[in-house]
Amino acid sequence: MTRPYSSRSDGLFGPMFGTPAAAERTSAGAWLQAMLDFESALAAAQAAAGVVPRAAAEEIARCCRAELFDVDSIAERAVSSATPVIALVRDLTALLGEDAKPHVHRGATSQDVIDTAAMLVARDVLDLIIDDLRAAADECARLAEQHRGTVMIARSLLQQALPTTFGNRCATWLISLDEAVAALERIRGRLAVQFGGAAGTLAALGADGVRVLELLAAELGLAEPVAPWHTDRTRVAELAGALGTAAGAVGKIALDVELHAQTEVGELAEGAAGGSSAMPHKQNPVSAVLVTAASKRVPGLVATLLAAMPQEHERAAGSWQSEWDPLTDLLRLVAAAAAQTRRLLAGLRVHPERMAANLDLTRGLVMAESAAGRLMDSLGRTEAQDLVGRLCRRAVQEGTTLRAELLADQRVREVLSEDEIVAATEPADYLGSAPAFVDRALTAHAELEKR
């Protein structure tokens, strides 16, 4: 049997862990174009500084187009030098006239090209991630406002705890996404050009080095570092950390949705659930599953980039080279997770009736803290808690409710009226500051949108 062949570079599983836009912006072609953008901008900056002829810079710029190069050939030749830049510069030089050839890559080194390309690739993908996370945050804000008063049970250690609202849950999601966006925006502004030459001194450019650095940063729209950062990998680490934090934020949302979407819980459902190859009845939370899968892969990539931070002298012997693939994968995975989270939240179906039913599963035992609190002023903490504890056990043994046991207990009735007992066992009356927290989260989100 003849099997159809696909030339997709992302393989069989790639589409599940990426988006078309992220795949394009992290592709070999995107990296190649980013490296060529460095070479073009370098020539333009040096022309502006009077280091190279303007005509040569213009010719170099015309040839810095990825479609003019064989990326597979460059990749194969990179093995012999542990960098694709040498092959790239040779191929670029071969495209130029004799007058322009001497001015290619002037004063630069391979690390300048790749580090700056990494910043350009990261910037392009961060734009996607930030846009999707902002949209996901807007969906959280919508859900928080819509369900500000939708009472549900909060859970700790996977067990029922106290009443809360679904709006309050969404508010916590909202805050985490807003903070993740803020961190990514901060590091986006920190993405800097790398230009230090062979040993970080720009010796080949003499007194013109700093001026060319300033012009190069402006040309590329990247931050201008105080000095070359060949072996100062702080920016890469900050980028990895911010991406890891964003993955954790969306991973938390996905996990919550998975737990709430369990058949026995049924409080949430995805708008477009997935099926099963064996069980036609299944309605799987596939978007949440994909976000979870992507976010599980992220910490290892972050760890690799952090482990690569200590680098030898002015050029690392392996640690620097170890960054390239993990950074590419990290950008692609977080972009996919952000996009899936946006889709998940936009179509999320909320079932308040199941939330109410689950809230009643313990027949009011979750209101024990509330009841004990009402009794403490008269009975003291220890006696109040012991009394309510005994009544909870009785309710379980007899199959009654905590409210019924409180109403039937003489010691309780000496302290609390019937109305007070009813109020003490009403979940909607024991939400504390949950509504206020929702309002605070929405206000903070609205302030961010104004900036």
User: Is the four-CA dihedral 211, 217, 218, 224 of positive or negative sign?
Assistant: negative
Tokens of 287: 């978007």
Cα dist from 421 to 365, 366, 405, 417, whole Å: 13, 14, 10, 6
Write down the catalytic residue from 190, 315, 354, 394: 315
The answer for 151, left when phi > 0, alpha when psi is -120 to 50, beta otherwise, is beta
CB 266 within 8 A of CB 356: no
Distance CA 169, CA 140 (A): 9
In what helix (H) or strand (E) does residue 268 lie, and over which residues does it extend? strand 268-269
Minimal CA–CA distance to 401: which of 427, 376, 378, 383? 427
In what helix (H) or strand (E) does residue 349 lie, and over which residues does it extend? strand 349-350
3-state helix, strand, coil in the chain (%, to 5): 65, 5, 30
Strands 151-156 and 349-350: unpaired
Is 276 designated active site?
yes
Minimal CA–CA distance to 224: which of 183, 262, 258, 196? 196
> 131, exposed or middle or buried, with CB in 10 Å at 0-12, 13-18, 19+?
middle
Other C-beta atoms lying within 10 Å of the C-beta of residue 284: 15
- Got the DSSP string for 126-176? HHHHHHHHHHHHHHHHHHHHHTTT-EEEEEETTEEEEEEEHHHHHHHHHHH
- DSSP annotation of 4 reads P
Is 315 designated active site?
yes
**Total residues found in the chain within this entry:** 451
Find all residues with CB under 8 Å of 401, minimum gap 6, and list them: 363, 364, 395, 425
Backbone angles phi, psi at 160, to 5 degrees: -60, 135
- 182-196 in b/e form (b: 16+ CB < 10 A) is ebbbebbebbbbbbb
Write down the catalytic residue from 9, 276, 378, 433: 276
Output the 3-class SS for 280-301: CCCCECHHHHHHHHHHHHHHHH
Residues with catalytic annotation? Answer: 276, 315
